[in-house]
């Protein structure tokens, strides 16, 4: 299975493509999409068309994207959300299933703890994918999202399929536990 990971950003959007076969992960490609300074609609168009081109070039089977965190500056959060929306539109426009993960989930999957620094994520991505050097921070984050999906996507998909049946029985998750 080929997995495309996206680390959205209005100035720089990272992407990473990995291959998962059984428990083995291998690197296919990674990079960044940089938008020019200018008006917001034009920048969003660049993200949309560039992510679409990445999808055409690497033909992933599924995609995963990092969720937006609430920033101190609400305007920055809104702009990041719009960049993320443009990337998601490109992915669903290509009929890809899109999973979403928080930065905490990605860091836990890659580095083993949710407070990992960028350098730790870069190092662990390089180790997990046996890269000859460190990827850039945005590309490393995108590869981390793909790795997170490779590790947890199957479990989350299975839980998602079970959730409607559990809800009908009056069960739900609270604090990581199934409760009635």
Is 66 assigned a catalytic role? Answer: yes
Residue 95 annotated as catalytic: no
Residue numbers in the known binding site for Mg(2+) are 7, 66, 138
What angle separates helix 137-168 from helix 103-111, to the nearest 10 degrees?
A: 110
The annotation places the binding site at 7, 66, 138
The catalytic position among 95, 138, 141, 154 is 138
The tally of CA atoms less than 13 A away on the side-chain side of residue 139 is 18
Q: Which of 53, 61, 66, 95 is catalytic?
A: 66
Q: Compute the radius of gyration of the chain from its Cα atoms.
A: 17
Q: Given 7, 39, 100, 154, which residue is catalytic?
A: 7
How many Å apart are CA 54 and CA 152, to the nearest integer?
A: 23
> Catalytic: 154?
no
Sequence-distant (≥ 6) Cβ neighbours of residue 36 within 8 angstroms: 42, 43, 46
Return the active site residues. Answer: 7, 66, 138
């Amino acid at each position: 299975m080929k997995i495309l990971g996206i680390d959205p950003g209005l100035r720089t959007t990272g992407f990473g493509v990995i291959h998962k076969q059984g428990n083995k992960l291998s690197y296919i490609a990674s990079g960044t999409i940089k938008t020019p300074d200018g008006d917001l609609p034009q920048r969003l168009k660049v993200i949309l068309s560039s992510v679409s081109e990445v999808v055409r070039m690497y033909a992933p089977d599924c995609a995963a994207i990092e969720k937006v965190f609430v920033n101190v500056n609400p305007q920055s959060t809104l702009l990041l959300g719009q960049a993320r929306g443009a990337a998601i539109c490109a992915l669903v426009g290509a009929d890809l299933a899109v999973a979403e993960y928080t930065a905490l989930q990605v860091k836990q999957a890659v580095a083993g703890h949710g407070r990992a620094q960028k350098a730790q994520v870069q190092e662990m991505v390089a180790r997990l994918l046996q890269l000859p050097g460190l990827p850039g921070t945005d590309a490393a984050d995108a590869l981390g999202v793909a790795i997170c999906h490779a590790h947890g996507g199957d479990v989350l998909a299975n839980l998602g399929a079970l959730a409607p049946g559990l809800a009908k029985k009056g069960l739900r998750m609270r604090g990581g536990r199934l409760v009635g």
